[in-house]
Amino acid sequence: MDFEFSEDENRFLREVEQFLKDNHDPKVMDVTRENMAQVCDTPERRAFMKKLAARGWLGITWPKECGGQDGEGFYEYLLNEKLSSVGAPQIGKGVGIIGKTLIKVGSEKLKQEFLPRILDANVEFAVGYSEPGAGSDSAAMRLKAERQGDGWVLNGQKVFTTSAHFADWYWVGARTDPDAPKHHGISLFLIPMNHPGLTIHPMYTMGNERTNAVFFDNVFVHDDYRVGELNKGFQYIAEALDIERFTMFTFSPIRGRLELLCDHVKNGTRDGKPLREDPVIRQRVAQLATECEVARVLGVKFVDAALNSAKTPTAEASEYKLFATELSRRIADATMDIVGPGAQLALGTSDGPLKGRPESCYTYTVIDTIGGGSSEVQKNIIATRKLGLPRNF
């Protein structure tokens, strides 16, 4: 495969760069929020997404009959990389997880109701997979959905639903057949977040970002808002998670964290000696720079595999997610070590090294190794689906 961008791709990159310059807004673009910069959780960020929608950039890969451009996925990749490089919200769950799943398996009613609103940036979604006993293992979810009349009644709990406090709709997996095997008997539903049976409690992460626990108390959902076939929700979730594992953890912020460290090493001193002359530091930074290039190529490789396959390449998604997030954590570790004790000062400390970014990167990158499926889960996926090793359960 060719790792160099084509003339058309470079032209698109320049167009996006100019758009970001013309629409620069510190309320929208904030690299210090690290990976959480991708969420669209303020009025200013929602307004920014409408500007993206007006350019037709939210439906690049969607079929034309669904309002999209039938374009190549590589342009979607390039767009997300540019957005994440400046800490702007990305095209996200609506276009990827929800939109692409609805296009494949959604009813005409759901397509007509949601696809135009996604393309116009008029709706935000929360995704409900994780539960107290089913974090990275979505197949273990136990939220109960029982048939009642022309719909379903849901009771139970979800955790780590990041967007629940500002989203309009909830994309939820629930167990519709408790007697089915673990990876079967799960169905997907769409529920309005203002449903009276939903209770949202905040849960704050070590990065001081908000996620949520959501409680279901006799939440009735009409069967029209069940997505796809009954009891096949896990298959849809698994494919959507492959998309999430790639799009949630873009490469640009990882490169930005390494550049931040390199700038400090170029200009910093310890005991009166330049850090750049320390052979141990030089070796560590060189190793991270090499690994950064590996992460970039793994990302491009995933996009190429996705473009040339009818299915989302599961193992490649897990390879990228595992390597990229663990690399990001190693960069944060190295930054804490090289910057020294001052690196523990909180983000925004005016007289602290790098204004507190080392502490911020450190706490956020730990979260990244868990979100979208922990590193251990990614290793299991690679072992079973690529290497052919037996399952450990």
pLDDT of residue 73: 83
Please check whether residue 244 lies inside any domain of the structure. Answer: no
What total number of domains does the chain contain? 3
Please check whether residue 242 lies inside any domain of the structure. Answer: no
Instruction: Clarify whether residues 324 and 276 are in a common domain.
Output: yes
> Distance (Å, rounded) from C-alpha 186 to C-alpha 176?
6
pLDDT of residue 242: 66
Q: Name the pairing type of β-strands 198-204 and 210-222.
A: antiparallel
Residue 147 belongs to a domain with what CATH number? 2.40.110.10
Torsional sign, CA 60, 67, 93, 237: negative
Residue 165's φ and ψ, nearest 5 degrees, are: -80, -10
pLDDT of residue 1: 62
Partners of 204 in beta bridges? 210
Instruction: Clarify whether residues 199 and 158 are in a common domain.
Output: yes
**CA dihedral angle for residue 205, residue 24, residue 80, residue 41, rounded to 10 degrees:** 40
Would you state the structure tokens that stand for residue 297, as one six-digit string?
């190529």
Kindly write down the DSSP assignment for every residue of 209-259, as one continuous string.
-EEEEEEEEEEEEEGGGEESSTTBHHHHHHHHHHHHHHHTS-HHHHHHHHH
Would you state the structure tokens that stand for residue 39, as one six-digit string?
């969420």
> Distance (Å, rounded) from C-alpha 58 to C-alpha 94?
9
Please check whether residue 238 lies inside any domain of the structure. Answer: no
> Distance (Å, rounded) from C-alpha 67 to C-alpha 61?
10
> What's the domain range around 200?
126-231
How far from the centroid of its chain's Cα atoms is residue 331's Cα? 19
Would you state the structure tokens that stand for residue 180, as one six-digit string?
């089915």
Give the residue from 205, 282, 253, 234 showing the smallest Cα distance to 357: 253
The H or E element spanning position 200 is strand 198-204
> Distance (Å, rounded) from C-alpha 24 to C-alpha 286?
33
Instruction: Clarify whether residues 63 and 17 are in a common domain.
Output: yes
- Return left, alpha or beta for 291; rule: phi > 0 is left, psi -120 to 50 is alpha, else beta: alpha
Radius of gyration from C-alpha coordinates of the chain: 22
pLDDT of residue 292: 96
Please check whether residue 140 lies inside any domain of the structure. Answer: yes
> Which DSSP letter does residue 276 get?
G
Residue 32's φ and ψ, nearest 5 degrees, are: -75, -10
Instruction: Clarify whether residues 271 and 373 are in a common domain.
Output: yes
> Distance (Å, rounded) from C-alpha 74 to C-alpha 52?
17
Please check whether residue 291 lies inside any domain of the structure. Answer: yes
Instruction: Clarify whether residues 266 and 302 are in a common domain.
Output: yes
Q: What is the three-class DSSP state of 30?
A: coil
Say which residue the tokens 């930054």 belong to: 335
Q: Residues with Cβ < 8 Å from 104, sequence gap 6 or more?
A: 228
Instruction: Clarify whether residues 188 and 264 are in a common domain.
Output: no
Instruction: Clarify whether residues 275 and 346 are in a common domain.
Output: yes
pLDDT of residue 304: 78
Instruction: Clarify whether residues 308 and 368 are in a common domain.
Output: yes
Which pTM value belongs to this model? 0.88
Please check whether residue 236 lies inside any domain of the structure. Answer: no
Instruction: Clarify whether residues 135 and 172 are in a common domain.
Output: yes
| Of the residues 231, 257, 272, the one at which a domain ends | 231
Q: Residues with Cβ < 8 Å from 299, sequence gap 6 or more?
A: 77, 246, 250, 251, 320, 324
Instruction: Clarify whether residues 263 and 204 are in a common domain.
Output: no
Instruction: Clarify whether residues 211 and 273 are in a common domain.
Output: no
| Of the residues 90, 117, 143, the one at which a domain ends | 90
pLDDT of residue 92: 80
A 10 A CB-CB count for 117 gives 16
Q: pLDDT of the chain along its 393 residues, tens only? A: 666 788 999 999 999 999 999 999 999 999 998 888 888 999 999 999 999 999 999 999 999 999 999 988 889 989 999 999 999 999 888 998 999 999 999 999 999 999 999 999 999 999 999 999 776 667 778 999 999 999 999 999 999 999 999 999 999 999 999 999 888 899 999 999 999 999 999 999 887 789 999 999 999 999 999 999 999 999 998 877 766 666 778 999 999 999 999 999 999 999 999 999 999 999 999 999 999 999 999 988 888 777 776 667 788 888 999 999 999 999 999 999 999 999 999 998 888 899 899 999 999 998 889 887 889 988 998 999 889 998 765
A 10 A CB-CB count for 366 gives 17
Instruction: Clarify whether residues 223 and 254 are in a common domain.
Output: no
